[in-house]
Amino acid sequence: MKRLTFLGLLIVLSPSVLGAQNSIFGIRGIGFPGRAGGVRSIALGGGSELFDRVSVLNPAMVASFGQVTVGAVSGTTFRKYTTAGTDASGLQETRFPLIFLGGGFGRSSFSYQVSVATFAEQSFDLETVDTVMVGGLPLAVEDRIIADGGVVDIRVAIGWRRSAKLAIGAAVHRLGGSSRFTATRTFDNQEFQPFQERDNLSFSGTSFSAGVLWLANTTLGLGFAARVNSSLTSELEDESSSKVAMPVSLAGGLWLGVTPRMRLMTTVRWRSWSRAQGDLVGTGTRAFDTWEVGSGLEISSGPGDGGKFPLRLGVRYAQLPFSPSDARPREWNFSVGTGAPFAGNRAVINVALERFQRDGAGARERGWYLAVGFTITPVQ
C-alpha cells in the first residue's frame, strides 16, 4: 500500500507536468476512456456505433454476422497540450484498440462475436520538479513516473435475428489488463542517492450488456443498448488491492436513410462515472457522469451500406469523466473517412481522420487521430 500511495502522490502533488505519452486527460481515475466503435464509426463521429457490427456497443448487431469474419483496428495519435504553464508538442503513439472474430451458427438465426477492445488507456510519462524540506532545509527534486498499459474489454456476444426488422443480442464482458509503473526520484544534491520503484497493477472485473435493433423500414432504424459493470479490482503485485465502481451505460440511436445513397446516423450515450467518486477520494480526483453525442453522414457511390469509397463526415461531443477539480473536461471531434471492398468483396478496408479538441481543468489538448481498419471474410 505504501508503494501505491507514493505513486499516487507523484500524480496528485506534482506542480508542473513536463511530458506525457497518452492524453493529458488520462492520468487520473482509471485512465482515458476507450471508444466503442470501429473505423467507420469514428469517421461518422460515433453516430453509427449502435448500427455497426464492428462496434462493441450494441450486441444486437452481432446478428448481422453470417460467415466467419475477422477484423482489427490500428490508430495513431499526434498530439500537443498545454497545462500548468507548460507546453508539450510532437507527441505520438500507435495502438490497436480493437480486434474481433464473428460468425453464424450454421443456418440458424443466431450469430456470435468475440472481441478485445480498449476500455481505458493508462499510459503516460510524467516529469515534475519540486522542492522538499529535508532536515529543515529546502532540497530540489525531480520526479518521474511512467505508466504503460490500461484496461481491456474482452467480450463474448450472441445475436439473434428475430425477423428482418428485429434483432436482439446480449454479451458477457471480462475486464482485464495491467499497467506497469516506474517511479523515480532524483535529488539536486550528490549526497542523496536517487531511488526507483517498479510495480505492476493488474485489473479485473465483469460486465453484462444487451441491445436491440429495430428496422421500421428501409429508411428508418432505431437502436438501444445498456451495460452494467461490476467494480474494477486493481491489484498491486499481491501486496494490496482496491476497487473502483464502474458506470452503468445507456445508449440510444437513430438511423435514417435520407436517400438510397445517403444515410444519417446519431448515437447518444450516458454513463454514470460518478459512481467511482467514493473510491477515488484519496487520489484527489473528481468523477462525473458523462454524455456523448455523435452524428455522421455517409454518402455512397451506390445503394446499400458503405459501397466503394463512400464519403463519411462526422461530429462528436463528449464529456470526460475524471478531473483534478470541479471543472468537467470535454472534447469535440470532427472526422472524415472512406473505405472500399476488395478481393472479390471478401475484404474491406476503412480509413478515418479525426481532429480532436479537449479542454478543461486547466489543460488544453489538440491533435489528430488516424485510424485504419480491415475486415476479412475468408470464404464466401
pLDDT in tens, 55-111: 999 999 999 998 899 999 999 999 998 887 778 888 888 899 999 999 999 889 999
Q: Could you tell me which of 103, 116, 114 has the C-alpha nearest to residue 63?
A: 103
Q: What is the phi/psi pair of residue 32, to 5°?
A: -90, 125
Of the pLDDT bands very low, low, confident and very high (cuts 50, 70, 90), residue 17 is: very low
> Are the CB atoms for 46 and 337 separated by under 8 Å?
no
Q: Could you tell me which of 357, 350, 356, 340 has the C-alpha nearest to residue 371?
A: 350
Q: Which helix (H) or strand (E) holds 228?
A: strand 220-229
**Every domain of the chain and the residues it spans:** 2-376
Instruction: Say if residue 1's pLDDT is above 70.
Output: no
Question: What pLDDT is attached to residue 247?
Answer: 96
- The percent of residues in the chain predicted with pLDDT above 70, rounded, is 92
Question: What pLDDT is attached to residue 303?
Answer: 57
Q: Which amino acid is at 231?
A: S
How high does pLDDT run on average in the chain?
Answer: 88
By the 10 Å C-beta count (0-12 exposed, 13-18 middle, 19+ buried), 347 is classed as middle
Measured in whole angstroms, the distance separating CA 55 from the mean position of its chain's CA atoms is 12
Number of H helices, E strands in the chain: 3, 20
Average pLDDT over residues 1-17: 42
Rounded Cα distance between 163 and 149, Å, is 42
The Cα angle at residue 17 between residues 13 and 19, in degrees rounded to 5: 140
Rounded Cα distance between 321 and 31, Å, is 9
96 or 12, which is more confident:
96
220 grid coordinates: 428508418
Cell 486527460: give the residue: 25
Question: What pLDDT is attached to residue 99?
Answer: 95
Q: pTM above the 0.85 mark? A: yes
Least confident of 66-70, 115-119, 239-243, 323-327: 239-243
40 or 301, which is more confident:
40
* 238 contacts: CB under 8 Å, gap ≥ 6: none
Of the pLDDT bands very low, low, confident and very high (cuts 50, 70, 90), residue 302 is: low
Q: Which residues pair with 298 in a beta bridge?
A: 263, 312
Question: What pLDDT is attached to residue 181?
Answer: 84
Q: Could you tell me which of 374, 329, 332, 378 has the C-alpha nearest to residue 355?
A: 332
Of the pLDDT bands very low, low, confident and very high (cuts 50, 70, 90), residue 4 is: very low
105-160 confidence digits (pLDDT tens): 988 999 999 999 999 998 887 777 888 777 777 888 888 888 888 999 999 999 99
The CATH number corresponding to 2-376 among 3.30.70.20, 3.30.930.10, 3.10.100.10, 2.40.160.60 equals 2.40.160.60
